[in-house]
Amino acid sequence: MARVLKAATVVVASASVGALFPRLQAPVPVVRALSTLQSPPQVARAVWSLGRLNHVAIAVPDLDKARAFYRDVLGAQVSEAVPLPDHGVSVVFVNLRNTKMELLHPLGSNSPISGFLQKNKAGGMHHVCIEVDNINAAVADLKEKKIRSLSEGTQIGAHGKPVIFLHPKDCGGVLVELEQA
């Protein structure tokens, strides 16, 4: 009888410990899974990473008309048109709460967006610009991954910071601009 009581006490005691410290009851595979999650990553750490969406750019056939649409119809805050001869475009910035839009129109005879507007006469989404924390590391890394850049190195973009464009054929059909945050 004394032996039966002692065994019952051990069972009750271990059940209470389990209730107080449920992790002590975790089966071995779960403990192993947790320790795997906590171990250091096996792949090399990236030396750069994507940040926020900086802007979405729209190529437009008529800059004044597009500016008036965003300002007067949609009620957005818009800039004056800014000529950027180094990029072959004139730009109107449309400020949104969480990002910007850029309305692009060709400037000069050799604009990089002329071909796009010839194919898309009504205009359309031209590129997305995503910030990166280390653009030089991004350029080197993407070159190694065989993603084509559209210039030898970075250029100074519309916001006075280094930028680089990646070929749309290597980015799922979307022209991607990376900008140093």
Residue 96 CA to residue 99 CA, distance in Å, equals 5
Q: Using the structure block, give the residue that is written with the tokens 């601009």.
A: 177
Q: Is 142 in the site for ligand MC0 (CB under 6 A)?
A: no
User: Do 157 and 73 touch, CB atoms closer than 8 A?
Assistant: no
User: Which stretch, 13-21, 42-50, 132-140, 172-180, contacts ligand MC0 (CB under 6 A)?
Assistant: 172-180
For ligand MC0, which stretch binds (CB under 6 A), given 9-17, 61-69, 84-92, 137-145? 84-92
Contacts of 161 by beta carbon, 8 Å cutoff, 6+ apart: 179, 180, 181
5-44 positions binding ligand MC0, by CB under 6 A: none
Q: Does 70 bind ligand MC0 (CB under 6 A)?
A: no
108 contacts ligand MC0 (rule: CB under 6 A): no
Q: Which candidate, 96, 114, 95, places its Cα nearest to that of 104? A: 114
- CA 85, 90, 94: angle at the middle one, nearest 5? 140
Query: Of the ranges 12-20, 41-49, 62-70, 161-169, which one interacts with ligand MC0 (CB under 6 A)?
Result: 161-169
Q: Is 131 in the site for ligand MC0 (CB under 6 A)?
A: no
Q: How far apart are CB 31 and ligand MC0 at their closest, in Å? A: 50
